[in-house]
Amino acid sequence: MKKNIGILTSGGDCQGLNAAIRGVGKAAQDEFGMSVTGFCDGFRGLVLNKTMELDNALLSGILTRGGTILGTSRDKPHKMPMGGKSLDMVDTIVETYEKNRLDALVCIGGGGTQKNALRLKNAGLNILTLPKTIDNDIFGTDVSFGFDTAVGIATEAIDRLHSTAMSHNRIIVVEIMGHRAGWLALAAGIAGGADVVLIPEIPYDVDKVTESIKERTSAGKQFSIIAVAEGAMSVEQAAYVTALADKKKTANTAEEKKAASQALKDFHADHVNSTLRLTRQLEETTGQESRLTILGHLQRGGSPSATDRVLATRLGTACARLINEGETGVLVAARGDGVEPMPLEAIAGKKKLVQLDHPWVSCARRVGTSFGD
Ligand code: F6P
């Protein structure tokens, strides 16, 4: 019997989402004879039954396009903002799934989406997920699409900052996205030859950063590029975050827990000010003029790189094959040149962080990059 499948994109957008939608959709229709329905604006589209028929005409010409033709949102099935309230809409989503006679639903998303997908799986739905994010922090997959393109954009930015930093004998601090993980700053820092790379996994000491800039000056290099992950923390900030996380874990009352959780959120949301403070601090400690560049959402925009197009197409078409074989409840993870279906229970709620002995960290150290530690 002909299978019906649904697709949605959820969480922050990134490059390669349309390539993945196309990969799933074309393989599902053309190879396996399925019909494919798109749900708009993330999980909200499932609540409102807001759909798009993803026929071949719609899937044509989207491979190279940035963003997502389906739209996206950060709405969660169990905490959906509805008319000023936050409501549990899981039952409504189950009804929509049944109304559309779906055999499987593909959720293309990042870390949050994996958790939401598991919730829907536990509500009885056949769910598969595809790993997308520029942050590269999804547990269980070698890599996620969006990452390669964002590394390219951040690297080009570092390249361009070099000539202006050099002309003015300045320090230029460049803040790079990545949420709580340092993958993007680390990869772009290596590729762009940043002199200092600061990532959340390696808390930094401002004195050590200053020292490494002064060493460059002594060696006749009058400028420095500092690549700072948005989640980077000084040793003192890391201690503050650990204390708050402990407080959250050991809180005696719901209020205490809520307060610790809010303080943590506020701290992480303040990254731009924190990076600005670091820039000013370095100007003081080194006596060298300093400037700050925040790359922000530029890193998520525009056309995907060739590598991301290939990855999204590989994972998308493999996803359609898995559905045809009756396999669900999994993340379609990239493993080497192949794919590996990973049970959602094994990956949801976990984060892939940069390990201190990761080869990228050691190779950066070997070419003289400072991590401020
Ligand atoms: O997860 C992708 C990401 O771009 C992170 O790097 C960043 O912290 C976050 O999304 C920004 O989210 P928003 O687009 O909602 O501001």
Examine the domain organization and report whether 167 and 284 are in the same domain: yes
User: From the CB of 13, is ligand 1 less than 6 Å away?
Assistant: no
- The mean pLDDT value for 276-296 works out to 98
**Would residue 222 count as lying in a domain?**
yes
Q: Show Cβ contacts of residue 70 under 8 Å, excluding neighbours closer than 6 positions.
A: 7, 8, 9, 17, 21, 38, 39, 40, 41, 45, 52
Residues 229 and 163 in one domain: yes
Q: Whose CA is nearest to atom 13 of ligand 1?
A: 12
Is residue 162 located within the same domain as residue 58? no
CA distance linking residue 80 with residue 46, whole number of Å = 11
Which of the listed residues 134, 176, 265 should we mutate to test ligand 1's pocket, taking the one with most ligand atoms within 8 A of CB?
134
Q: Does 358 reside within a domain? A: no
Residues 284 and 314 in one domain: no
**Contact 22 CB / ligand 1 (< 6 Å):** no
Residues of the chain with pLDDT > 70: what percent? Answer: 100
Q: What is the pLDDT of residue 188?
A: 98
Count of structural domains within the chain: 2
Q: Annotated catalytic, 135?
A: yes
Token pair in block for residue 160? 């361009």
Contact indicator for 190, 363 with CB cutoff of 8 Å = yes
Q: Residue 353 has what pLDDT?
A: 98
Residue 242 confidence (pLDDT): 97
| 364 part of a folded domain | no
The pair of three-digit structure tokens given for residue 5, joined into one six-digit string? 């499948």
Atom 8 (ligand 1) nearest CA: 179
State the residue range of the domain holding 71.
4-145+304-347
Q: Is the pLDDT of residue 22 over 90?
A: yes
What CATH number does residue 130 fall under? 3.40.50.450
- pLDDT tens digit string along 207-227? 999 999 999 999 999 999 999
Do 283 and 328 lie in a common domain? no
Q: What angle do CA 75, 78, 80 make, to 5 degrees?
A: 40
* Atom 15 of ligand 1, nearest CA residue: 12
Contacts of 328 (CB under 8 A, 6+ apart): 104, 121, 126, 127, 128, 322
| 230 and 154 inside one domain | yes
- The answer to whether the beta carbons of residues 24 and 17 sit under 8 Å apart is no
User: Which of the residues 41, 75, 103, 135 is marked catalytic?
Assistant: 135
Is 372 a member of any domain? no
Q: Residue 197 to residues 175, 194, 202: CA-CA distances in angstroms? A: 10, 7, 10
pTM confidence score: 0.97
Q: What would the pLDDT profile of 66-108 be if each residue is shown by its tens digit?
A: 999 999 999 999 999 999 999 999 999 999 999 999 999 999 9
CA 2 to ligand 1 centroid distance, Å: 38
17 and 119: one domain? yes
Does residue 289 share a domain with residue 156?
yes
Cβ of 144 closer than 6 Å to ligand 1, yes or no, is no
- Same domain flag for 271 and 313: no
What is the rounded average pLDDT for all residues in the chain? 98
CATH of the domain at 198: 3.40.50.460
Residue 232: Cβ within 10 Å count: 29
141 lies in the same domain as 23: yes
Pairing type for strands 196-198 and 224-229 reads: parallel
Residue 30 in domain = yes
Q: Is the pLDDT of residue 1 over 90?
A: no
Phi-psi region of 221 (alpha: psi -120 to 50; beta: other; left: phi over 0): beta
DSSP 3-state helix, strand, coil percentages of the chain (rounded to 5)? 45, 20, 35
Structural domain includes residue 353: no
pLDDT value at 252 more than 90: yes
Determine, yes or no, domain membership for 359: no
Note the pLDDT tens digit of each residue in 261-271: 999 999 999 99
- pLDDT mean over 358-368: 98
Residues 238 and 338 in one domain: no
Enumerate the β-bridge partners of residue 38: 7, 52
- Least Cα distance to 228 among 198, 269, 254 occurs for 198
Contact between 183 and 147 under an 8 Å Cβ cutoff? The reply is yes
DSSP-assigned states of every residue in 258-284: HHHHHHHHHHHHTHHHHHHHHHHHHHH
pLDDT at 313 over 90: yes
Count Cβ atoms below 10 Å from residue 362 Cβ, excluding itself: 10
With bands split at pLDDT 50, 70 and 90, how would you rate the model's confidence at 167? very high
- Take atom 12 of ligand 1 and give the residue whose Cα is closest: 12
Residue 357 lies in a domain: no
User: Same structural domain for residues 163 and 86?
Assistant: no
